[in-house]
Amino acid sequence: MKNMRIAKLYCIALFLVLAFGLSSSTRVPHVRKHYLKFINNLSNKVLNVNCKNLNPYIDLNLHILLPGEVYEFNYDITRTMNFSCDLRHGFTSTVFSIGDKATKRACGGNHCIWKSQDDGVYLLNRRTKQYKFMYKWGQ
């Protein structure tokens, strides 16, 4: 009789351990991503896009966009990820950060679309669906 009670207690304890263990293991941390798109809207000029992160060092290599072409990439958002991109055409360029909070606010979230035009670089605000002038060439 006493052994039966102990066996029941062990079964209940085992059930509770398994139930709580399985429920906590199914919770996968939500990883947010930052999506970026670069559009070459220059008139008959090639656009060079080179994006890098310093800590940890990640170089996405040079991407050469012909007029009308698009380059896209995404990355997991962490505290140390803060990519900067160097956009060049001919002998002029501009370098800017793409992962800071102000930029994410300006583009309306984690999906940022950059458009290069002859007068500079524009960022699409996805909420208003309007491009905002951000950087002149040569800055």
DSSP codes of every residue in 120-132: EEEEEETTTTEEE
Architecture of domain 33-135: Sandwich (2.60)
Residue spans of the domains in the chain: they are: 33-135
CB 131 within 8 A of CB 119: no
Q: Which residues pair with 38 in a beta bridge?
A: 71, 114
Q: Per-residue confidence at 102, pLDDT binned at 50, 70, 90?
A: confident
47 CB-contact burial (10 Å; exposed 0-12 / middle 13-18 / buried 19+): buried
Q: What is the pLDDT of residue 13?
A: 57
pLDDT digits (tens, 9 = 90+) for 15-71: 555 555 554 445 555 667 889 999 999 999 999 999 998 877 888 899 999 999 999
Q: What is the mean pLDDT of the chain?
A: 83
- pTM of the predicted model as reported, rounded to 2 decimal places: 0.74
Asked whether residue 73 carries a pLDDT value surpassing 50, the answer given is: yes
